[in-house]
């Protein structure tokens, strides 16, 4: 009965979205973010105050106030320790995570530990001598910027959004993204996998086709490969694999490390601890990386890098590729794994869709062509806008805004394998399943984990149940429980693995022991929701699983933080771009009565 209630609840929530137009689509990227809306049968990527369709995911605190976007990025050199970027790489992670520790070496801002989680410590900001921010708070500021951009463009309040995440984001990272949306004042109606979003953007124009695609997603800080099937409007993710902390930022860091050594040889000075010099170097490195995607060599030129030293260096594409050779070699494995999991052959794949700015790097394309020499690389999709387009279309599907796309449906698979107690295999759809275990001791806490193949080294806690000791009597030393996995197939699935520290399988039940039933629902946001009840002596005790994400109280507190914004006012400069976009839409999509809107 409770399983049925949970299913009705989820479906009821989905149905209520039909009244929530507009639902914007946000590609919350490591380097840049993008926002779009689907209307008049078309996706509109919304320009920011400068007319740009991408906004840097950068937040800066100054003596005067808060800056978000390009202006924040522009002042990074003079304000390095208070300019925050690459925050997506910290979302939902533990402080001790090796990737977090590696990023600490290169980030000019201070990353500290609080309750095993990374936090950003900012000194000397307006109204505070110092203040600690959770990664979710900083990402919320970027989302707030995207919300403002869309509200100015649409000339109305925006409350609802679809936000994209890498397919290989785990439960904690997805929850952190959803929490960031809540802090920004957004109702996150869907957490959507980035490759799925790109497939939706592709499938929108080719709904009548039947084909299999490879979605190769290499952005600023994440990497995913997904095998997708499109069949008459149904978009099915068959398999996915990837690396969550891997992308263009890693190429930048490798190049910065090399140039630090070059500079040391030239002036016998180690600049690695000079935050201002590193920011200057980083800005030039990014420009060089982009230039090397077009030219075979480029020149780095930095006036007054440190102590009046004018740094000049010629960098060849071949050197860039040599420095990152081991990183480029990592690209192949997720390709191989995803194709193997899909059980398809190379001949059954029609096209490769590239998304993410790092796919413009020539070496990346060379590796892809080497892996799949017989498959065409699609050049119609804009790699830096496809994810945002798909998110906007998904928002329209949820809101019911357009009958034209009501039949477009997307389905995902679980990206993680379940080991130790095999409940759900990698690539499968969550299903109803029961397991019984016998415990030799009383338990205060039962934890739920997800695993990526190696339980000992690769587990991640999703949450825990705190048990009421009243369910035990003085003589009872054993618990019999039945775990029930209640699954819908709503997309973005994260595998639940329930692991009990002292558990052994039961061959027969012990009627004198209390029975605990666990109910698990994987929502369409890919986040696991769970509850449990214990029936003993006609008394039913309910438990809700405690998630490791932010509490409602923490989210409310973060929502209350206000700081004066000193970046440009969007409404003063955006109207001309809205007018140009409307003219473009009228020419390309001329509805009968749209001229009255001008």
Q: What percentage of the chain has pLDDT greater than the value 90?
A: 48
Is 297 a domain residue?
yes
Phi, psi dihedrals of residue 442, rounded to the nearest 5°: -70, 145
Same domain, 305 and 366: no
Same domain, 119 and 209: yes
Q: How confident is the model at residue 312 (pLDDT cuts 50, 70, 90)?
A: very high
Q: Is 322 a catalytic residue?
A: no
Q: Is 27 a catalytic residue?
A: yes
Q: Is 217 a catalytic residue?
A: yes
Same domain, 254 and 231: no
Is 344 a domain residue?
no
d(CA 477, CA 469): 12
Same domain, 253 and 162: no
Residue tagged active-site, from 103, 148, 217, 250:
217
Span 207-229, mean pLDDT?
87
Is 398 a domain residue?
yes
Q: Is 88 a catalytic residue?
A: yes
Same domain, 306 and 390: no
Residue 436 pLDDT greater than 60, yes or no:
no
Same domain, 177 and 300: no
Is 213 a domain residue?
yes
Q: Mind listing the pLDDT tens digit for each residue in 317-372?
A: 999 999 999 999 999 999 898 999 899 998 999 999 999 999 999 999 999 999 88
How much is the pLDDT for 550?
86
Same domain, 485 and 548: yes
Query: Which CATH number fits the domain that encloses residue 293?
Result: 3.90.640.10
**H or E element in which residue 302 lies:** strand 297-306
- Given a contact cutoff of 8 angstroms between Cβ atoms, the answer to whether 322 and 346 are in contact is no
Q: Mind listing the pLDDT tens digit for each residue in 480-498?
A: 333 333 332 222 333 333 3
What's the whole-model pTM score?
0.80
Coil, strand or helix at 324: coil
Same domain, 583 and 497: no
Domain carrying residue 321: 248-326
Same domain, 479 and 503: yes
Total number of residues shown for the chain: 598
Which among 326, 345, 377 is the end of a domain?
A: 326
| Higher per-residue confidence, 222 vs 569 | 222
d(CA 450, CA 459): 6
Residue tagged active-site, from 31, 70, 88, 275:
88
- Region for residue 284 given its phi and psi (left: phi exceeds 0; alpha: psi -120 to 50; beta: otherwise): alpha
Query: Which CATH number fits the domain that encloses residue 576?
Result: 3.30.420.40
Same domain, 240 and 261: no
Contacts of 289 (CB under 8 A, 6+ apart): 248, 251, 252, 255, 320, 361
Q: Mind listing the pLDDT tens digit for each residue in 523-545?
A: 666 676 666 666 554 555 555 56
Same domain, 366 and 232: yes
User: What distance separates the 2 farthest-apart alpha carbons in the chain?
Assistant: 81
d(CA 509, CA 481): 9
Is 483 a domain residue?
yes
Same domain, 440 and 575: no
Is 241 a domain residue?
yes
Coil, strand or helix at 391: helix
Residue tagged active-site, from 136, 148, 179, 194:
194
Residue 374 pLDDT greater than 50, yes or no:
yes
């Amino acid at each position: 009965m409770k399983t049925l209630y949970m299913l009705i609840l989820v479906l009821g929530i989905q149905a209520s979205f039909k009244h929530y137009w507009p639902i914007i689509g946000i590609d919350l990227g490591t380097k840049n973010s993008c926002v779009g809306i689907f209307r008049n049968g078309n996706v509109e990527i919304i320009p920011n105050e400068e007319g740009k369709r991408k906004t840097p995911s950068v937040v800066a605190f100054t003596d005067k106030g808060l800056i978000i976007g390009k202006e924040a990025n522009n002042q990074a050199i003079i304000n390095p320790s208070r300019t925050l970027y690459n925050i997506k790489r910290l979302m939902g992670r533990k402080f001790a995570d090796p990737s977090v520790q590696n990023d600490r070496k290169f980030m000019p801002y201070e990353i500290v530990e609080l309750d095993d989680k990374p936090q950003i410590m900012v000194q000397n900001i307006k109204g505070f001598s110092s203040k600690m921010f959770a990664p979710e708070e900083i990402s919320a500021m970027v989302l707030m910027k995207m919300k403002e951009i869309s509200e100015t463009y649409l000339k109305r309040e925006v409350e609802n959004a679809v936000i994209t995440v890498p397919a290989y984001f785990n439960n904690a990272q997805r929850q952190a993204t959803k929490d960031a949306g809540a802090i920004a004042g957004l109702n996150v109606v869907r957490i959507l996998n980035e490759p799925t979003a790109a497939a939706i953007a592709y499938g929108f124009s080719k709904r009548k086709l039947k084909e299999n695609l490879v979605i190769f997603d290499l952005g600023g800080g994440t990497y995913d490969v997904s095998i997708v099937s499109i069949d008459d409007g149904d978009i099915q993710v068959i398999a996915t694999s990837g690396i969550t902390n891997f992308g263009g930022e890693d190429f930048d860091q490798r190049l910065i490390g090399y140039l630090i050594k070059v500079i040391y040889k030239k002036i016998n000075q180690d600049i690695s601890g000079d935050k201002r010099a590193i920011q200057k170097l980083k800005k030039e490195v990014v420009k060089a990386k982009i230039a090397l995607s077009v030219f075979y060599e480029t020149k780095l030129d930095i006036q007054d890098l440190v102590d009046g030293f004018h740094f000049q260096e010629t960098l060849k594409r071949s050197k860039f590729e040599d420095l990152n050779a081991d990183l480029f070699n990592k690209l192949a494995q997720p390709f191989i794994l995803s194709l193997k999991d899909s059980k398809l052959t190379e001949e059954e794949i029609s096209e490769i869709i590239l998304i993410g700015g790092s796919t413009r790097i020539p070496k990346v394309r060379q590796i892809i062509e080497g892996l799949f020499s017989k498959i065409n690389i699609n050049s119609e999709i804009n790699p830096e806008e496809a994810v945002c387009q798909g998110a906007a279309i998904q928002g329209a599907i949820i809101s019911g805004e357009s009958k034209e796309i009501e039949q477009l449906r997307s389905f995902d698979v679980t990206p993680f394998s379940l080991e130790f107690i095999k409940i759900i295999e990698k690539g499968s759809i969550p299903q109803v399943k029961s397991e019984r275990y016998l415990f030799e001791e009383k338990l205060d806490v039962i934890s739920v984990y997800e695993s990526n193949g190696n339980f000992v080294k690769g587990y991640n806690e999703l949450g825990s149940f705190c048990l009421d000791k009243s369910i035990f009597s003085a003589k009872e030393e054993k618990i019999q429980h039945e775990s029930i996995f209640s699954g819908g197939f709503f997309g973005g699935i994260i595998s639940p693995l329930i692991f009990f520290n002292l558990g052994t399988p039961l061959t027969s039940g012990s009627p004198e022991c209390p029975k605990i039933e666990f109910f698990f629902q994987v929502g369409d946001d890919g986040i696991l929701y769970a509850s449990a009840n214990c029936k003993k002596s006609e008394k039913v005790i309910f438990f809700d699983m405690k998630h490791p994400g932010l509490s409602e109280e923490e989210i409310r507190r973060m929502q209350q933080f206000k700081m004066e914004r000193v970046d440009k006012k969007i409404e003063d400069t955006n109207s001309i771009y809205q007018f140009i976009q409307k003219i473009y839409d009228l020419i390309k999509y001329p509805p009968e009565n749209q001229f009255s809107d001008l």
